[in-house]
């Protein structure tokens, strides 16, 4: 059986076989470029198969674009599953990619990007070329272009709004970039698809099968805060926003294709790309699930669990501060009790807002609000209320953060300095808020029971040693083990 590559380098022999068989497991893991046409495609492209002597392979769309190829209009590279961050060989490049995905180069420079991750600009460029085949600016430019094409193809959003939503400073720059990238004007692509105007935009968010959407919905349903989140057997709904304006998003699973549908009423379309990235992380859509399962099922403690639930994903969180607060609220109490406290906090301290239809909502309170709030009013013990006040103040002064460039060790080390935040809480936050695949809350009692045949409490040292075999996917092992005890 063909195994998908898990690193940024690619084996032409594997790519050739995947291309000739149109193997969907490789969709988004590499791109095929045809010299005779000047076009790059997904390995599943339905176009007639090109002769091998005319083909070269690239690990990502930006590298193909940098080599002078333009995206295929038939297989639509913008519709491919995202490239897993784990395919970067170094933590530095992975951190830079997370920042780029958050829009760091939409209005910033490579110099500032390099400074944020603690290296020189030349060194960062050299790492990118070595590991990804192209530079940071090229990665960001391709990201903007493909997202713009996605909006043009899948929505009726006006072209000016498309340009701003994709991160272009002006319509002129967008038109020039699109013409250079596709050899067609944006309006020509828009004429190919007709959409009825609507306040709701619906975008397709692809993933790699297998994908257990039902398990994610069940996880979110147990923790949903009424008024902010609604979860049923088919859909996740959330109110979001800042200030007085709120948007609504809904996530469902598409039938007969490996993708979720994101429907969104968004008051600020310039936030669309960041919103899509947030939902992709929350629903773990870019995971290299084949690599994860291959690693975990080599261990006897996980083999049967992976076989039973091969589509298990890592449930992320909408907002880092919200996850941090809820993690502290949930210490030593049930999930249901923690949700009750979260609801009281929203009702007492939440930010009032309205959707575009006039629906009044309350959004999760900001750190500035919680920093000096009297949380004993919602029934919290004084010690826990004080811990939450301290957490919020640390967020406000920058002592702790959810910056995506942090390593797991850096993140945990900064958070455990706060009163009321231990190793378990910090690792749980890393799992949910950063979606870190190797986060491991080892002190968890359910986890320690799940690894023993008789359900007794495994010694902490034994569990840590056992988990070394699960790196760098310990967080996925945690989800499997938690699920086995539910």
DSSP states of 299-331:
SHHHHHHHHH-TT------S-HHHHHHHHHHTT
C-alpha dist (Å) from residue 37 to 16, 82, 103, 134, 206: 18, 24, 32, 21, 27
**Strands 55-58 and 229-231, sheet pairing:** unpaired
Taking only the tens place, the pLDDT of each residue in 436-475 is 999 999 999 999 999 999 989 999 999 999 999 999 999 9
The Cα 453–Cα 379 span in angstroms is 39
- Using the structure block, give the residue that is written with the tokens 């996530």: 251
Q: Is 199 exposed, middle or buried (0-12, 13-18, 19+ CB in 10 A)?
A: exposed
Confidence (pLDDT) at 2: 44
Task: Judge contact between 250 and 236, C-beta under 8 A.
Answer: yes
Annotation says 41 is catalytic:
yes
Whether the pLDDT of residue 126 is over 70: the answer is: yes
Range with lowest mean pLDDT among 191-205, 234-248, 413-427: 191-205
The larger pLDDT score, comparing residue 191 to residue 44, is at 44
Range with lowest mean pLDDT among 49-63, 77-91, 100-114, 411-425: 77-91
Q: What are the residues whose beta carbons fall under 8 Å from the beta carbon of 20, sequence distance 6 or more?
A: 49
Task: Judge contact between 33 and 55, C-beta under 8 A.
Answer: yes
Superfamily of segment(s) 88-191: Homeodomain-like (1.10.10.60)
Q: Is 246 exposed, middle or buried (0-12, 13-18, 19+ CB in 10 A)?
A: buried
Q: Please give the structure tokens belonging to residue 175.
A: 């038109």
- Mean local confidence (pLDDT), 26-43: 95
Confidence (pLDDT) at 107: 83
- CA-nearest of 417, 387, 384, 383 to 400 is 417
Mean of pLDDT over the chain:
92
3-state SS string over 19-72?
HHHCCHHHECCEEEEECCCCEEECCCCCCCCCCHHHEEEECCHHHHHHCCCEEC
Identified catalytic residue from 15, 41, 45, 75:
41
Identified catalytic residue from 23, 91, 106, 444:
444
Task: Judge contact between 311 and 210, C-beta under 8 A.
Answer: yes
The larger pLDDT score, comparing residue 101 to residue 416, is at 416
The Cα 328–Cα 214 span in angstroms is 27
Whether the pLDDT of residue 194 is over 80: the answer is: no
DSSP state of 418: S
The Cα 269–Cα 475 span in angstroms is 33
Instruction: Describe the chain by its helix, strand, coil percentages, rounded to 5.
Output: 50, 10, 40
Whether the pLDDT of residue 198 is over 80: the answer is: no
Cis-peptide into 210, omega within 30 deg: yes
Please state which CATH class domain 12-79 belongs to.
alpha beta
Rg (CA), the chain: 23
Annotation says 72 is catalytic:
no
**Domain regions of the chain by residue span:** 12-79, 88-191
pLDDT band at 4 (very low <50, low <70, confident <90, very high): very low
Return left, alpha or beta for 241; rule: phi > 0 is left, psi -120 to 50 is alpha, else beta.
Answer: left
Taking only the tens place, the pLDDT of each residue in 255-301 is 989 999 999 998 788 889 999 999 999 999 999 999 999 999 999 98
Confidence (pLDDT) at 102: 87
Q: Model pTM greater than 0.85?
A: yes
* Three-class SS state of 99: helix
* Three-class SS state of 434: coil
Taking only the tens place, the pLDDT of each residue in 405-431 is 999 999 999 999 999 999 999 999 999
Give the rounded percent of residues in the chain with a pLDDT score beyond 90: 84
pLDDT band at 106 (very low <50, low <70, confident <90, very high): confident
């Amino acid at each position: 059986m063909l195994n998908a590559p898990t690193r940024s380098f690619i084996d032409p022999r594997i790519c050739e076989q995947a291309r000739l068989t149109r193997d969907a497991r490789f969709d988004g893991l590499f791109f095929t470029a045809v010299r005779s046409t000047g076009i790059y495609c997904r390995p599943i492209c339905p176009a007639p198969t090109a002769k091998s002597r005319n083909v070269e392979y690239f690990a990502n769309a930006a590298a193909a674009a940098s080599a002078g190829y333009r995206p295929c209009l038939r297989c639509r590279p913008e519709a491919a599953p995202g490239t897993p961050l784990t395919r970067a060989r170094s933590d530095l490049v992975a951190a830079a990619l997370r920042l780029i995905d958050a829009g760091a180069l939409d209005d910033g420079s490579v110099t500032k990007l390099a400074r944020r991750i603690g290296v020189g600009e030349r060194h960062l460029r050299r790492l990118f070329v070595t590991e990804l085949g192209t530079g940071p600016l090229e990665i960001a430019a391709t990201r903007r272009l493909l997202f713009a094409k996605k909006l043009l193809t899948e929505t009726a959003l006006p072209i000016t709004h498309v340009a701003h939503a994709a991160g272009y400073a002006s319509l002129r720059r967008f038109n020039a970039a699109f013409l250079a990238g596709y050899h067609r004007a944006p309006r020509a692509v828009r004429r190919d698809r007709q959409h009825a105007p609507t306040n709701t935009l619906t975008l397709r968010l692809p993933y790699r099968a297998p994908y257990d959407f039902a398990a994610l919905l069940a996880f979110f349903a147990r923790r949903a805060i009424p008024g902010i989140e609604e979860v049923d057997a088919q859909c996740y709904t959330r109110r979001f926003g800042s200030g007085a304006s709120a948007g609504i998003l809904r996530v469902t699973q598409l039938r007969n294709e490996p993708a979720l549908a994101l429907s969104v009423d968004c008051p600020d379309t310039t936030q669309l790309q960041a919103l899509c990235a947030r939902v992709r992380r929350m629903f773990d859509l870019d995971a290299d699930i084949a690599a994860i399962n291959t690693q975990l099922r080599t261990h006897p403690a996980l083999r049967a669990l992976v076989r039973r639930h091969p589509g298990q994903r890592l449930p992320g969180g909408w907002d880092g501060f919200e996850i941090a607060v809820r993690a502290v609220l949930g210490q030593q109490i049930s999930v249901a009790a923690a949700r009750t406290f979260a609801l009281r906090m929203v009702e007492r301290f939440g930010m009032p807002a309205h959707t575009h239809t006039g629906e009044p909502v309350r959004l999760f309170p900001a750190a500035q609000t919680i920093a000096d709030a009297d949380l004993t009013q919602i029934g919290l013990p004084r010690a826990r209320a004080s811990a939450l006040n301290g957490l919020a103040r640390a967020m406000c002064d920058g002592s702790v953060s959810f910056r995506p460039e942090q390593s797991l060790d850096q993140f945990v080390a900064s958070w455990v300095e706060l009163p009321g935040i231990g190793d378990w809480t910090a690792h749980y936050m890393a799992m949910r808020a950063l979606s870190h695949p190797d986060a491991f809350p080892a002190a968890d009692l359910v986890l320690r029971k799940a690894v023993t045949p008789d359900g007794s409490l495994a010694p902490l040292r034994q569990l840590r040693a056992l988990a070394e075999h699960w790196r760098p996917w310990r967080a996925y092992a945690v989800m499997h083990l938690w699920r086995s005890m539910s």
